[in-house]
Amino acid sequence: MQDMMLEVKGLTVQFRNEDKEYSVVKGISFHVKKGETLGLVGESGCGKSVTSLSIMRLIPTPPGKIVSGEIRYKGVDLLSLKEKEMNKIRGNEISMIFQEPMTSLTPVFTIGRQLDEVILLHTDLTKKQAKERSIEMLKLVGISRAEQIYASYPHELSGGMRQRVMIAIGLACHPQMLIADEPTTALDVTIQAQILDLMRELKEKTQTAILLVTHDLGVVAEMCDRVIVMYAGEIVEEADVDTLFHNPKHPYTRGLLESIPNLEEKKRRLFSIAGQVPTPDTVIPGCRFRDRCPDAIARCEQEHPELLELEQSHTCRCWLYAE
């Protein structure tokens, strides 16, 4: 397929802790097409950030290791590339916006220098042109006094401004694939609305494919075309956004959707999923959600469920739907 941007197949990532090895991501597969926004949802510890870091080959090794699987970007297997070749793709064709705007910028360099660095590394522009491009990028992300901000240090900016700078850096080389790991989590709602608006605009303009990693279902509903729900290192459900919100199948997805307070209707009590997310090193035979699942049946205890295709492009990992 021509417009396939990113394909992940059977990705398994292990981490080593003292003498134990455990898989944080267990054989997950998905794809993102050109101009599409795929949401990756889950709670902390479900492996969503590890997945996005793996795509960029930024998993610290050791303790982490990609033990199996393929990550194909436009047909090229990223895992087999040399570090030098990977550097050409990273920040240029695929770029990433990290969660923490407070800590992802170097405090000792000006905003301008950090922006220029990316541009100079990946393009043939001269320093002067790079500066022009940087200022243009800052304006694009809605920073009003771009020239002034260009010369400032990160600590002089607010969180919202820093996140916008991060986005400007991420977009400086017009990437074709953008990985945004909780891009708005640290921000206030009014600033979040501005940033989401900006990302949507960019997608429409440049047909960038976006992988949006988040735990905020509101953001997902607003931004994504398709959604993947992860639980304890596995994909438990995948569907287009409308189906996921209006016809969720997996008990975990349903529980998540019911447990968020909602502005439109007032419930006396919120639904809550009992128990807690298992830590990655616990060995659970059968379904990993079983202990917290209100609908668990005997089979869930013994057999590990596979991803079942319920309808076209709607899959779910649950025994309830097996014939």
Question: What is the binding site for other proteins (CB under 8 A)?
Answer: 43-44, 144, 158-161, 188-194, 196-197, 215-222, 241-242, 245-246, 255-257, 259-264, 266-267, 269-274, 276-277
Tell me the closest approach of the beta carbon of residue 254 to other proteins, in angstroms: 11
The residue whose two tokens read 């439109």 is: 264
Locate 273 and state its tokens.
Answer: 């999923």
Residue 19 falls in which region: left (phi positive, over 0), alpha (psi -120 to 50) or beta:
alpha
Q: Which is nearer to other proteins, 115 or 217 (CB)?
A: 217
Tell me the closest approach of the beta carbon of residue 75 to other proteins, in angstroms: 31
Report the run of H or E that residue 136 belongs to, with start and end: helix 127-140
Tell me the closest approach of the beta carbon of residue 217 to other proteins, in angstroms: 4
Tell me the closest approach of the beta carbon of residue 220 to other proteins, in angstroms: 8
Tell me the closest approach of the beta carbon of residue 198 to other proteins, in angstroms: 10
Alpha-carbon distance 230 to 178, whole Å?
A: 20
Q: Which is nearer to other proteins, 85 or 242 (CB)?
A: 242
Q: Do 310 and 293 contact (CB within 8 A), yes or no?
A: no
Q: Which is nearer to other proteins, 43 or 70 (CB)?
A: 43
Cβ neighbours of residue 122 under 8 Å, at least 6 residues apart? Answer: 88, 91, 92, 173
For the residues of 50-76, what is the DSSP string, one character each? HHHHHHTT---TTTEEEEEEEEEETTE
Tell me the closest approach of the beta carbon of residue 129 to other proteins, in angstroms: 29
Tell me the closest approach of the beta carbon of residue 250 to other proteins, in angstroms: 13
Alpha-carbon distance 160 to 157, whole Å?
A: 8
Alpha-carbon distance 20 to 41, whole Å?
A: 27
Alpha-carbon distance 25 to 12, whole Å?
A: 5
Q: Which is nearer to other proteins, 126 or 262 (CB)?
A: 262
Tell me the closest approach of the beta carbon of residue 271 to other proteins, in angstroms: 7
Sheet holding 76-77, edge to edge: 20-33, 4-17, 64-73, 76-77
Q: 150-161 burial, b for 16+ CB within 10 Å, e for fewer?
A: beeebeebeebb
Q: CA dihedral in degrees (251, 256, 260, 263; nearest 10)?
A: -70
Q: Which is nearer to other proteins, 1 or 189 (CB)?
A: 189
Q: Which is nearer to other proteins, 109 or 245 (CB)?
A: 245
Alpha-carbon distance 89 to 92, whole Å?
A: 5
Alpha-carbon distance 260 to 68, whole Å?
A: 35
Locate 297 and state its tokens.
Answer: 């049946």
Q: Which is nearer to other proteins, 56 or 227 (CB)?
A: 227
Tell me the closest approach of the beta carbon of residue 82 to other proteins, in angstroms: 38
Q: Which is nearer to other proteins, 178 or 244 (CB)?
A: 244
Q: Which is nearer to other proteins, 84 or 269 (CB)?
A: 269
